[in-house]
Amino acid sequence: MPEPIIGAPAPDFSLPATGNRTISLADLRGQAVVLYFYPKDSTPGCTQEGQDFQQLSDEFAALGAVILGVSRDSVASHEKFRARQGFSFDLLSDAQETACHAYDVIREKNMYGKTVLGIERSTFLIDADGVLREAWRKVKVKDHAAAVLERLKAL
């Protein structure tokens, strides 16, 4: 699938989420959405990224934004990860990779000398009208959540 375009409507999705819910982008109209894709629950980089978003979650909420984390892990795995880390935001399970493909985050990676397909750490900022305003690819975790917050403030 082609990469989503800044300034165009963000690709819609409907995915199972923590809290025994299904979350759709269309249902979040009227709120900005920080949609971050990460490789795997409970790994060091993914844990740090989630903690950084959690640390700033009140500031995101004050600006009318919802934070959503997405990986291919199961909802059960997400529930454990979310509880262990105390995340107030939902984690979405994309086991079928529908949102991953819609946002073009599945990439070839080299794991221990083998080529595998996995999620490239990426974040998308979607405005209250459902329009994609910013995309970060190949995200480095350090200071990333703060950079997303600054960009949200500029909207």
Which residues does the annotation mark as catalytic? 46
Contact 119, 109 (CB under 8 A): no
Report which secondary-structure segment, H or E, holds 3: none
Round to whole Å and give the CA distance between 59 and 141.
18
Provide the sign of the torsion angle of the four alpha carbons 129, 134, 135, 140, taken in this order.
negative
Number of other CB atoms surrounding residue 28 within 10 Å: 17
